[in-house]
């Protein structure tokens, strides 16, 4: 038997739960679980966006300047705000050095 793709199972289950919630809402009912699912899905999307932006800042913006100092790397990796990371990405691609990037953020 092959490996189980838990991501697909989770995604499928989440879609099925969302479908059930929509059906419940269409019938005029309310369901706190639906809000919880919506919140969880939003959090997952935001977390994915943050991870993508962190990777872009590091790989596209800063790696060309050489080794990124550990404190700066930890600061970038620890940021969880999509808007802040988007601004930092813009700074990273426009900076001419790591020092310039640090001054910009």
Task: For residue range 30-54, list pLDDT tens digits in order.
Answer: 556 666 666 666 777 778 889 999 9
Residue 10 has pLDDT above 90, yes or no: no
* Cα dihedral 92→98→101→105 (10° resolution): 110
Segment holding 30, helix H or strand E: none
- pLDDT at res. 44: 72
What average pLDDT does the segment 17-30 reach? 59
- pTM equals 0.64
90 inside domain = yes
Classify residue 40: in a domain, yes or no.
Answer: yes
- For residue 45, is it within any domain? yes
Q: How many structural domains comprise the chain? A: 1
Residue showing tokens 């060309």: 64
Residue 1 lies in a domain: no
Domain that holds residue 93: 6-104
pLDDT tens-digit readout, 62-105: 999 999 999 999 999 999 999 999 999 999 999 999 999 999 99
pLDDT for the residue numbered 78 = 95
């Amino acid at each position: 038997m092959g490996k189980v793709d838990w991501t697909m199972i989770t995604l499928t289950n989440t879609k099925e739960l969302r479908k059930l919630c929509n059906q419940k809402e269409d019938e005029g009912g309310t369901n706190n679980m639906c809000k919880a699912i919506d919140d969880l899905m939003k959090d997952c999307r935001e977390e994915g966006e943050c991870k993508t932006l962190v990777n872009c800042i590091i790989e596209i913006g800063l790696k060309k300047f050489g080794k990124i100092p550990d404190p700066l790397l930890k600061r970038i990796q620890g940021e969880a705000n999509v808007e802040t990371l988007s601004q930092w990405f813009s700074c990273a691609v426009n900076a001419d050095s790591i020092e310039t990037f640090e001054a910009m953020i």
